[in-house]
Amino acid sequence: MKEGGEMIEFSKSYDEFSGRYQEAAKYGENLLPLSIAESNAVCPKFVQDIIIETLNKKPLEYARPSNNLYEIISQKNKYKNVKLGKQNIAFDLSALSLLVHAIKVFTDREDGIIVFTPVYFRFFELIKMNNRILYECQLKETENKGYVIDFDELEKIMSKSEVKLLLICNPHNPVGQIWDFPTLKKISLLAESYGLQIVSDEIHSDLAFLSSKFTSFMKLSDTAIIIDSPTKSFNTQALKIGYAISKDATRITLIENEVNKSGTGNPSLLAMQAMKSVYGSEGELWLKDYKKIIRFNIEYLENTIKKMMPDFSMYYPEASFLVWVDTKSQEKLIKFLKNLEMDNGVLVSNGCKFLDPKGTHFRINCGVDSMLFMKSCGIMVKAYNQVD
């Protein structure tokens, strides 16, 4: 049995081109990088097999999505009972590139785009880099329900004439919240009332711990653009591929036109082979095992915080391997991160990077092998005890 489960294997080393390798080169070779939202899980064996077979027996030629690949995506459980065809799906090299295409299609320069903060930093970076105006709708932290949307504030922002698009992250990065059906329905009705385009990034949705709880925005809107990719769930980021989906084929055509204008072309043959593979039965089994490891690590972190770092708290995520930890103090956060990174060799993400309104949080990646993660938790306890 391989470490972590029957189908999961983890690596102890990184390629020289990887972000993790380059972080280690910056901070020291013993660095434990838990800041980047990826795993040290090795590419699943069944994906390796299809790639090796392709390399050994077929030319690495130009490729385009097959009818079969469109069908595989349209039949995924989260799109169940939604009629989708080839005309409803557009491919590109990543979820983020599709997000940029959507921004360009549905907004003009100086138009406003709403995001719920704290949020994945690339969202607001790309909004600003494309000369759009960022509007933050800050999430409200509750005692028992995690984070909720401030609908009064959301409607106030939506009513501004320059605001044209709402960008949703579901499940939400970094807090791990799955937006439930009533919340999504309320968002949908408000967006329709004010004429806003919805773009829903659902790249973490296959990592929902209770898949029945996740609802794709596809189920609530005929015009929403859904953005997704298998790369986050199966740790295959190097195989660049993403897709956008909408019930409205006209909107997908607009996205495809923007993809063609960018000159990127279709995802590679190997990327499409990998997608076909992970979206099959072997991928379901691998993902089931992987989620068990993630949950073990999250629960280990939760127990460590309760017993050894009682001044901190965390929200148990409903999806994905990213955990949002609250140190309760800006000063304490700064000291803790310094101790952790510079003196003890563990790298996590300062919440300020995600526009954390309190400035007291950090995000940690729990999607690595459990031995490495437990070692990191021990180092965090040491750093916590070093805070004055």
Span 111-132, pLDDT tens digits: 999 999 999 999 999 999 999 9
The per-residue pLDDT of the chain, averaged, comes to 92
Torsion, CA 281, CA 224, CA 129, CA 236, rounded to 10 = 0
Q: Which of 10-19, 142-151, 233-242, 337-346 reaches the highest mean pLDDT?
A: 233-242
∠ CA 259-100-270, nearest 5°, is 55
Q: What is the pLDDT of residue 6?
A: 46
Domains 19-45+282-386 and 62-279 belong to one CATH topology = no
120 vs 101: CA distance, rounded Å: 18
Token couple for 256: 């495809």
E strands, 180-285, are 197-201, 225-228, 242-245
Q: How confident is the model at residue 5 (pLDDT cuts 50, 70, 90)?
A: very low
Torsion, CA 337, CA 342, CA 346, CA 347, rounded to 10 = 60
pLDDT, tens digit (0-9, with 9 covering 90-100), for 62-72? 999 999 999 99
Q: What is the pLDDT of residue 25?
A: 61
Select the more confidently predicted residue: 24 or 13: 13
Q: Which neighbouring-strand residues pair with 208? A: 319
The answer, yes or no, to whether residue 21 has pLDDT greater than 70, is no
The answer, yes or no, to whether residue 19 has pLDDT greater than 60, is yes
The topology (CATH level 3) of 62-279 is Aspartate Aminotransferase; domain 2 (3.40.640)
Are 96 and 125 a contacting pair, CB within 8 Å? no
35 vs 196: CA distance, rounded Å: 33
The answer, yes or no, to whether residue 22 has pLDDT greater than 70, is no
E strands, 290-343, are 313-315, 322-326
Q: Which residue has the tokens 């929902």?
A: 208
Mean pLDDT of 75-91: 91
Q: What is the pLDDT of residue 346?
A: 87
Residue ranges covered by each domain of the chain = 19-45+282-386, 62-279
Mean pLDDT of 70-84: 89
pLDDT, tens digit (0-9, with 9 covering 90-100), for 307-331? 999 999 999 999 999 999 999 999 9
CATH class of 19-45+282-386: alpha beta
pLDDT, tens digit (0-9, with 9 covering 90-100), for 280-298? 999 999 999 999 999 999 9
Q: Is 192 exposed, middle or buried (0-12, 13-18, 19+ CB in 10 A)?
A: middle
297 vs 305: CA distance, rounded Å: 12
The answer, yes or no, to whether residue 103 has pLDDT greater than 80, is yes
Q: What is the pLDDT of residue 343?
A: 66
Between 26-30, 86-90, 177-181, 269-273, the lowest mean confidence (pLDDT) is in 26-30
Percent of the chain with pLDDT over 90: 80
The answer, yes or no, to whether residue 20 has pLDDT greater than 80, is no
The answer, yes or no, to whether residue 1 has pLDDT greater than 60, is no
Q: How confident is the model at residue 33 (pLDDT cuts 50, 70, 90)?
A: confident
pTM for this prediction: 0.94
Q: What is the pLDDT of residue 331?
A: 96
Q: What is the pLDDT of residue 46?
A: 94
The answer, yes or no, to whether residue 175 has pLDDT greater than 60, is yes
